[in-house]
């Protein structure tokens, strides 16, 4: 039997959507107000879904006492109250769109054991959310 567990985490961060390879006019046209030179912030919510068999000894697929500190260290502490463009190395040359943020969070969490990371969903606003789902048949632990 395979069971899924979804846990919600929150952090606040700022970013500017700006691609160095585009002109100022193109950046403004593509990113609009999100291209503000001073940046802007969001209160992000991250939903982490793990899947796996239920351990017969514990009755759980993952111990929240292990999962929570793992996510806190690799995501919440890493991103909370940070300027993604300036303080997160992975976004120095990559536009920190929420799509890219979602992919980076997935990359940072895929080594959690014993359950397998199935999906990461990042809610940027009440209107926007982005989700990455592990490829069927592929190990998210690669």
Residues forming the active site:
34, 81, 124
Sheet holding 2-15, edge to edge: 82-83, 2-15, 40-53, 116-123, 129-133
Instruction: Read off the tokens for 87.
Output: 């303080």
Of residues 70, 78, 61, 79, the one with CA closest to residue 111: 70
Q: Is the torsion defined by CA of 37, 14, 108, 133 positive or negative?
A: negative
SS3 142: coil
Instruction: Read off the tokens for 41.
Output: 């912030």
């Amino acid at each position: 039997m395979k069971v899924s567990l979804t846990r919600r985490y929150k952090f606040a961060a700022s970013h500017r959507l700006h691609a160095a390879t585009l002109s100022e006019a193109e950046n403004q046209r593509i990113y609009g107000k999100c291209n503000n030179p001073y940046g802007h912030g969001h209160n992000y919510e991250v939903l982490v879904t793990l899947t796996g068999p239920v351990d017969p000894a514990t009755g759980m697929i993952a111990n929240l006492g292990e999962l929570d500190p793992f996510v806190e260290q690799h995501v919440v502490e890493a991103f909370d109250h940070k300027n993604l463009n300036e303080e997160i190395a992975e976004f120095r040359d990559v536009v920190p769109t929420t799509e890219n943020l979602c992919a980076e969070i997935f990359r940072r969490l895929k080594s959690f054991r014993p359950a397998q990371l199935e999906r990461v969903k990042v809610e940027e606003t009440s209107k926007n959310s982005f989700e990455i789902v592990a490829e069927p048949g592929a190990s998210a632990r690669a």
